[in-house]
Amino acid sequence: MEDNKIAVGLDIGTTKIIAMIGRKNEYNKIEVIGIGKAKSLGVKRGVVSNITQTIQSIQQAVEEAESVSGMKIEDVIVGIAGQHIRSLHHSDYITRNNADEVIEEADIENLVNQVHKLVMLPGEEIIHVLPQEFKVDSQADIKEPIGMYGGRLEANFHVVVGQVSSIRNIGRCVKSAGLELSDITLEPLASASAVLSLEEKEAGVALIDIGGGTTDLAIFKDGIIRHTAVIPFGGNVITDDIKEGCSIIEKQAELLKIKFGSAWPGENKETEIVSIPGLRGREPKEITLKNLSKIIHARVQEIIEQVYLEIKNYGHETAKGKLIAGIVLTGGGAQLKHLRQLVEYITGMDARVGFPNEHLAGDSDEALSSPAYATAVGLLMEGLNKEFKGEAVVEEVLDEDVRSEQEETIPQVQQEKPKPVKKRPFFEKFIESLKDFLDNAE
């Protein structure tokens, strides 16, 4: 790898696997230098169900990205989703030995590590511990306690939990594909960093990422993640419904959905008809677009209602929890015609489609700003931010000038975005233990 801080995001989705290689340019924007796509065959509803096929798909995507960029990929940042993900709220505190010294990074690390020791249900493991507000002694609602005096440090945490076996299976696939796993990130968090603006996170926003197998939700308010959920339905269920409802094969159903599909049945007239070639020697089938959009509408409505239930559970209807910026739709499913109008109609909230182009360099390929790439771009950003904080994934000795350049960039980055740094030390250990486990398993 180059010494020009390169990272690789690997989005293991239900319909496709994307490997994206990129680096930051001088304007701090992301330059994508290689992208590889493969059809994902071994993943069902965001969870690996066939290890061999998943390994092959990962290798295919990685090889394509390598040949486009002319670089060798060694380690990747992987996204995790699936119906086994759940989140909970927890508050914890530590009593500091010396209240005469100011609170440091190490104190927050101790507190985060303490939360990591929480006893979970059998077979579950903590993926992320995200601090929300802190409380120092009796002063509440502190966003950044570093540098303050206090004896007791307390915080509310958003804890994301997943199944150990699913996490290990992903690790297994990545390792067997000849790659190192440098980090695991929750997919809705990755998509959020790619498509949401700081103003939206501050005002309150719900990000709905409609993928093939799952629909992921991440809710932000006051700039802090408040709620995450994974709903086990996505674009594939819509395709299945079309397949059943019109008695056609999956490939045709998918094409129909993409080309003629609409989430709003009112706009199609009865006279609009699509003719589909029959299977070997059979008559062609005629399908009215009105019927097609009715099938899509019914399923999309169900998905949106489930997501809206989660938004209400979080507390959107309370004065304190109101999401002023409304909803941002992203993921491949967000490309469905009239989806935004349907979402606004069902939820009564403002909605927009989120494109991951805000952080990409100006001359990036147009195709990259499709909502389908939101997670991959977000994972790439995670990887680059991790490296920019001086925790380079590339274990090569950096040149002196690069190292000094890196040290210059560290202070600014930490001021802007202090929180993600905190979860690293434990995560490093978690990744280490995962690597050891995988090594021993062979």
Q: Name, in order, each residue with C-beta under 8 angstroms of 347's C-beta and a sequence gap of 6 or more.
A: 304, 308, 311, 327
pLDDT of residue 4: 66
When the candidates are 3.30.1490.110, 3.30.470.20, 3.30.70.360, 3.40.50.620, the CATH number that belongs to 86-163 is: 3.30.1490.110
pLDDT above 90: percentage of residues in the chain: 52
Q: Are strands 205-210 and 327-330 parallel, antiparallel or unpaired?
A: parallel
pLDDT of residue 328: 96
Which residue in 212, 214, 171, 218 sits closest to 191, CA to CA?
218
CA distance 291 to 301: 15
- Residue type at position 410: I
Q: By the 8 A CB rule, do 424 and 432 touch? A: no
CA distance 267 to 223: 38
When the candidates are 3.40.50.970, 3.30.420.40, 3.30.70.1110, 3.30.1490.440, the CATH number that belongs to 198-355 is: 3.30.420.40
pLDDT of residue 219: 94
Biggest distance spanned by C-alpha atoms of the chain: 85
Helical residues (DSSP H) of 283-338, grouped into ranges: 289-314
Q: Name, in order, each residue with C-beta under 8 angstroms of 361's C-beta and a sequence gap of 6 or more.
A: 25, 27, 29, 30, 31, 32
pLDDT tens, residue order, the chain (442 aa): 344 688 999 999 899 999 999 998 888 888 999 999 999 988 888 889 999 999 999 999 999 999 998 888 888 999 988 888 888 899 999 999 888 889 999 999 999 999 999 988 899 999 889 998 999 998 988 989 999 999 999 999 999 999 999 999 999 999 999 999 988 888 999 999 999 999 999 999 999 999 999 999 999 999 989 998 889 899 999 999 999 998 899 999 999 999 999 999 877 777 888 888 888 888 888 999 999 999 999 999 999 999 999 999 888 778 788 999 999 999 999 999 999 999 999 999 999 999 998 888 877 787 788 999 999 999 999 888 876 554 433 333 233 333 444 444 334 433 333 444 444 555 566 666 666 766 666 5
Start and end residues for every CATH 3.30.1490.110 domain found in the chain: 86-163
User: Tell me: the pLDDT tens digits for 214-263?
Assistant: 999 999 999 989 998 889 899 999 999 999 998 899 999 999 999 999 99
Helical residues (DSSP H) of 73-225, grouped into ranges: 105-116, 164-176, 187-195, 198-203
Residue written as token pair 């086994």: 84
pLDDT of residue 369: 85
User: Tell me: the pLDDT tens digits for 371-410?
Assistant: 999 999 999 998 888 765 544 333 332 333 334 444 443 3
Start and end residues for every CATH 3.30.420.40 domain found in the chain: 198-355
Give whole-number Cα distances, 120 to 117, 188, 357, in Å: 9, 22, 38
